[in-house]
Amino acid sequence: MKFRIFNSNHLIKASYFNAIIVLVRAISGIITSKIIALFLGPSGLALLGNLRSFTQTASSFTAEGYHNATIRYVAEYNEDELKRSKTIATVFQLSIGLALLIGIILWVFSSIWSSVLFKTESYAYVIKTLAIGLPFFSYNLLVIYVLNGMERYKKLVIVNSILSIGNMLITVFFTIKFGLQGALIGIIIGPIIVFIINFFALREKRIILFYAFKFELFSIKALKNISIYFLMAAYSTVVVSITFLLIRNLIIENLSVEEAGYWEAMNRISSFYLMFFISLTSFYLLPRLSKTNSFEIFKKEVKSFYILIIPLIIIAFTLIYFLRYFLLNFLLSEEFIPTSELFFWRLIGDFINVMAIVLVKQFHAKLLFKSYLFTNGLLSLMYFCLSYFFIDIYGLVGVVKAYAFSYMVYLPIVIFFIYNYYKQNKNNLV
């Protein structure tokens, strides 16, 4: 059996549009990071990192938790208008309902959240703004997931581009005009303005926005279908966001807020180059693994994927390491040059990270719920604990060493769980 990376015109088309989305998102993120670095410095980037982690945690319950489920079931029911409508309506209603509930909690306890995130109650108004913007943030993401499931790739590119560029322009404007306070507010109100723009850009697909009000379409069956995917995604997002928040605060308390800014800069740069590799696993590998039951075929699929990406990663990561000083100056500013010390161990960790994510897609494909929860929880626990001990010995470099060592342990554990899954289903071992 011959495996090809792109075996159909449909996949080539999907990959092409995905590349455009990733490119626009990366460029927008780079410009935003550059402006924040120039105007706010490492300390400002660290505080914004806390807000982003907090926002991501909240959105895991209101939008991001429905990512895989929405795409899968909208695509699966593409020929069944009623089932598809019920799925979309259920996702929207559950998402917006939770967004309103979480928004109320954020508003009422805004001073407490501000103290946790920023070590002062002065930014309570930022949390209140987030409470108002959360439903709009959720709407924007859900529209993207629905369009992805419906395979409306051109419209998906338009909406994604508006979201990325709109958020970038608003954050940049508010950062330049109002400094740190403006950057904090800009990150939150951007989705509100983008929602209004998308309302007109969607045109005939604008009807998607009104599914939240079609209560007669709410379906318990659809709710059950998305619940496991939701729990997996929400769990992962919450655990990762809390881990990053704890590590960031650990760096601030033991080193300085500037050092936390250097670490946040490394995270941002890492997210830019990993975006291309990780998005490819979702666009290409996940659908293939969903159709694969044989262990031998699974190994061949993974092997063919590794053959493609490993040389690319080695070349890309080698260039990134030797060009790290240029990248820091270009993407951020000279103020972030100390971040160069973090690249070596971070790149090692990211290499193993990509190798592991390729395999973890099998957890999603086969809904290996318990395995996913255990391995993700263990990874985050190792990362925090090793950071806690290493930071006293190695300083900030200890945090990226902890990252690399955590993935060194994580990868063989993931392999064990996948092999164990096939061993329990012996008929699939051939």
Q: What is the pLDDT of residues 349-362, one digit of tens each?
A: 999 999 999 898 88
- What does the pLDDT read at residue 120? 85
User: Following DSSP, what letter does each residue of 117-158 receive, concatenated?
Assistant: HHSSGGGHHHHHHHHHHHHHHHHHHHHHHHHHHTT-HHHHHH
- What does the pLDDT read at residue 49? 78
- Whether 427 has a pLDDT exceeding 60, the answer reads no
Q: Which residue, 145, 133, 144, is CA-closest to 100?
A: 133
Phi-psi category of residue 358: left, alpha or beta, with phi > 0 → left and psi -120 to 50 → alpha: alpha
Render pLDDT for 393-419 as a digit per residue (tens, 0 to 9).
Answer: 999 999 999 999 999 999 999 999 998
Q: Which residue, 80, 82, 83, 89, is CA-closest to 214?
A: 89
Does residue 87 contact residue 220 with C-beta atoms inside 8 Å? no
Sign of CA pseudo-dihedral 165, 171, 174, 176: negative
Q: HEC string of 288-356?
A: HHHCCCCHHHHHHHHHHHHHHHHHHHHHHHHHHHHCHHHHHHHHCCHHHHHHHHHHHHHHHHHHHHHHH
Nearest-5° Cα angle at 184, 234 to 23: 65
The structure tokens listed for 314 are 């080695």
Residues in the chain: 430
- What does the pLDDT read at residue 134? 86
- What does the pLDDT read at residue 6? 42
Does residue 221 contact residue 83 with C-beta atoms inside 8 Å? no
- What does the pLDDT read at residue 386? 96
Backbone angles phi, psi at 210, to 5 degrees: -95, 0
Point out the least confidently predicted range of 20-24, 198-202, 319-323, 378-382.
198-202
- Whether 185 has a pLDDT exceeding 90, the answer reads no
Say how far apart CA 382 and CA 409 lie, in whole Å.
Answer: 9
DSSP letter at 150 equals T
For the chain, what is the mean pLDDT? Answer: 84
- What does the pLDDT read at residue 205? 63
Say how far apart CA 230 and CA 64 lie, in whole Å.
Answer: 8
Say how far apart CA 352 and CA 272 lie, in whole Å.
Answer: 17
pLDDT band for 368, please (50, 70, 90 cuts).
confident
Distances in Å between the Cα of 10 and the Cα atoms of 172, 211, 251, 284, 393 are: 37, 28, 46, 11, 52
- Segment 313-325 mean pLDDT: 94
Point out the least confidently predicted range of 14-18, 62-66, 250-254, 373-377.
14-18
Q: Which residue, 240, 180, 245, is CA-closest to 49?
A: 245
- Segment 230-236 mean pLDDT: 82
Q: Which residue, 97, 121, 101, is CA-closest to 111?
A: 121
3-class DSSP state of 366: coil
In the chain, the percentage of residues whose pLDDT exceeds 70 is 90
- Whether 42 has a pLDDT exceeding 90, the answer reads no
Higher pLDDT, 204 or 369: 369
- What does the pLDDT read at residue 2? 44
The structure tokens listed for 339 are 């971040």
Encoded amino acid at 337, one letter: I
pLDDT band for 12, please (50, 70, 90 cuts).
low
- What does the pLDDT read at residue 394? 94
- Whether 16 has a pLDDT exceeding 80, the answer reads no
- Segment 122-150 mean pLDDT: 84
pLDDT band for 291, please (50, 70, 90 cuts).
low
- Whether 422 has a pLDDT exceeding 90, the answer reads no
Does residue 62 contact residue 138 with C-beta atoms inside 8 Å? yes
Which alpha helices (H) appear in 213-283, and where do they start and end?
Answer: 220-254, 257-280
Say how far apart CA 306 and CA 354 lie, in whole Å.
Answer: 10
Longest C-alpha distance within the chain, in Å?
64
